[in-house]
Amino acid sequence: FGLAVTGGLVSSTGIAGFTLGGGVGWLVRRHGLASDNVTAAEVVTADGRVVRADQDENPELFWALRGGGGNFGVVTSLEYQLHPVGPQVLGGLIIYPLEQARQVVTGWRELTGNMPDELTTLINFTTAPPLPFLPPEVHGTRIAVLVGMYAGDPAAGEAAVAPLRTLGTPIVDLMGPMPYTGMQTLLDPLWTAGAHNYFTSAFIEPSDAALDAVLRHHLTTPSPSSELHLHQLGGAFARVPAEATAFSQRDSSVLCNVIARSPDPTDFDAQIAWARGAREEIARHGRGTTYVNFTGDAAEDKVRAAYPGAVHERLVRVKDTFDPTNLFRLNQNIRPSKAA
């Protein structure tokens, strides 16, 4: 029907957990997080009641569900505000070699300040897979991949993405018109089922020192599938008042995701250690905050980093009301005030 709400960066991302933790995707700058577009939810609470949460009915639960994760009940339905999208958009990849990564990411940083809301971009520091559109001599080398989508008229998008094509000399430029559904599945071949995964993250400001830290850890990725992403934020994401939802991290311009991924469990603990070390250093270039959907584990310090200060206290009050015994605890847990 030509309507959409912000979805994951790949099509296999389930919309429910994605939304309850926020939901960053290709429409985040145009239409905000997935959770920003929720208008109501049906929830089965810990005591077996079925309740509705919206602006008028159970408004505190409604606030908590939009970013607070699966802490407050089993969400059995979500209602969203949808938006006209496409069906044709301008999107795709521009792939640059490692030796140009510093100038590419610096140039990208300068461009992001003036990009239209319709354009959402990220830079993926990864290893070139053996795909047919890449020259064989590039396979297995470290690269910087600029990925983006313009959620508007593709013709207007050409002017918006033009500067991204000249940040260096691309190995290949695969940015062009495509169906929105094509953009949602573009990266799927690289994210097949069955791999071991560890995701962690930090909201940062992309200073020279921050970019240097990202590039250093790119050089030490422990497997060809391990990656570092710099997600552009701002736009509609930043215009939502911090107090409006439990997802309160609205003032950072970039989200850095650090991903340890391998099809082989051998030495995966060492790969997790790499991701944690990278996140710890990179996070120093922000306020120490993290994205709850990419905390890596459910340790209490990670949860507090996702919900700083008064936000966590308010979430605890909602937890006390709807799950005082902490039945829903196999998650990035908000502990009720009387939990053992």
What would the pLDDT profile of 117-168 be if each residue is shown by its tens digit? 999 999 999 999 999 999 999 999 999 999 999 999 999 999 999 999 999 9
CATH number of the domain at 161, please. 3.40.462.20
Q: Are 61 and 137 part of one and the same domain?
A: no
pLDDT in tens, 197-243: 999 999 999 999 999 999 999 999 999 999 999 999 999 999 999 99
Q: Encoding tokens for residue 18?
A: 């994605």
Q: Are 70 and 111 part of one and the same domain?
A: no
Domain-terminating residue out of 29, 58, 84: 84
Q: Are 131 and 143 part of one and the same domain?
A: yes
Rounded (5°) CA angle 252-185-159: 60
Domain-terminating residue out of 84, 105, 121: 84
**For residue 306, with 0-12 CB atoms within 10 Å meaning exposed, 13-18 middle and 19 or more buried, which class applies?**
buried
Query: CB–CB of 196/222 below 8 Å?
Result: no
Residue 45 has pLDDT above 80, yes or no: yes
Q: Are 51 and 39 part of one and the same domain?
A: yes
Q: Are 16 and 106 part of one and the same domain?
A: no
Please indicate, yes or no, if residue 304 is contained in any of the structural domains.
Answer: no
Residue 339 has pLDDT above 90, yes or no: no
Check residue 198 and give its pLDDT: 96
Quote the number of domains for the chain: 2
Q: Are 68 and 150 part of one and the same domain?
A: no
Please indicate, yes or no, if residue 321 is contained in any of the structural domains.
Answer: no
